[in-house]
Amino acid sequence: MANYTKVSVKAEGRAELHDKLGLTGAEVSVNSLPAGANVPFVHSHKENEEIYAVLAGKGTAVIDGDGVALSAGDWVRIAPAAKRQFFAAPDEGITYLCIQVKEGSLGGYTMSDAVL
């Protein structure tokens, strides 16, 4: 059995990778909103922080009532309790990656977690 899983994902709507990749420590999704569209709900989390990476386009995240302009190359970390909603710009769509992990769970990273 291989120690990796590879999938291809089309950047249309929303694709959650938890089941597709057999993830055990994170949820990752690829999201696309066409120009003028938005995520139709405001949400927060109980335990999980979210890290958003804007891959293409532009839009706005409303986080606890603050409008945060987003464009390709931007990264945003949002604490679990923060209320959030995402909007594409009126004239341009947005594609972003969302990584969801339990806040405070990182025990090691990069070289501190590597086995050489």
Output the CA–CA distances (angstroms, integers) from residue 34 to 57, 58, 84, 104, 106, in the order listed.
9, 10, 18, 34, 34
Count how many residues are written for the chain: 116
Provide the whole-model pTM.
Answer: 0.89
pLDDT band per the 50, 70, 90 thresholds, residue 70: very high
Q: What is the mean pLDDT of residues 16-31?
A: 91
What was the pLDDT predicted at 9? 85
Q: Is the pLDDT of residue 31 over 70?
A: yes
Higher-pLDDT residue of 99, 113? 99
Stretch 34-59: mean pLDDT: 97
Residue 45 has pLDDT above 90, yes or no: yes
Is 70 exceeded by the pLDDT of residue 115?
A: yes
Q: Is the pLDDT of residue 1 over 70?
A: no
CA distances from 29 to 12, 20, 38, 51 (A): 11, 11, 16, 11
pLDDT at res. 109? 79
74-83 residue pLDDT tens:
999 999 999 9
